[in-house]
Amino acid sequence: MVTTEERARTAKAKATRATNKALNEKRDAEYKLHCERMERRNLAWTAVAVRGLRWPEDVALVEAVEAGTQPLSAEDVAAEIEARLATVRCHAACVAQVRKYGRVDHPDADVTRCQVCWHPLLCGGVDRVHGYVEISVEEAHRRGVYHGGNCYHVSVCKHCDDLTARDSSD
């Protein structure tokens, strides 16, 4: 036989489950709206990068897209990126970076360099591939290149003398 106390506990547990379900549905809806807003914001910043906008135009575009007053579709931005890629000198591997971020970091690069990563477009190595060799701290300093110590790696291409540096402690 079920006592009145057990019935009260059961009713309270059902009410708690219903409340928790409603709260979870509300949180899920808020999270979905947040994700959509962040997606629109990221798309707006990609459009800013592709169009080469500077302050205050960049902020105005992002705010307008977030507010919903400026329509912007992923297809339109992708088309802008593809049009931009037609005018950019870059490595095949750098195309993916431009498609993802819409940014060309070195638009004023000379004709021998990639406009995205600044590395030489052509190398004298086999199949035009760089052959990087790590150099010592002393050699880096002789070349006038910063070398940060143990976790810092400076490499030079043995074919075209291109330099790269990275910090492996990150």
pLDDT of residue 170: 62
pLDDT at 127 > cutoff 80: no
User: Average pLDDT, stretch 69-93?
Assistant: 89
Other Cβ atoms closer than 10 A to 59: 13
pLDDT band of residue 44 (cuts 50, 70, 90) is very high
Across the strands, what pairs with 166? Answer: 153
Question: Does residue 46 sit in helix, strand or coil?
Answer: helix
d(CA 97, CA 79): 15
DSSP state of 127: G
* Beta-carbon-side half-sphere exposure of residue 53 (alpha carbons within 13 Å): 17
Question: Does residue 146 sit in helix, strand or coil?
Answer: coil
For the chain, which residues make up each domain, given as ranges? 1-70, 122-170
pTM to 2 decimals?
Answer: 0.59
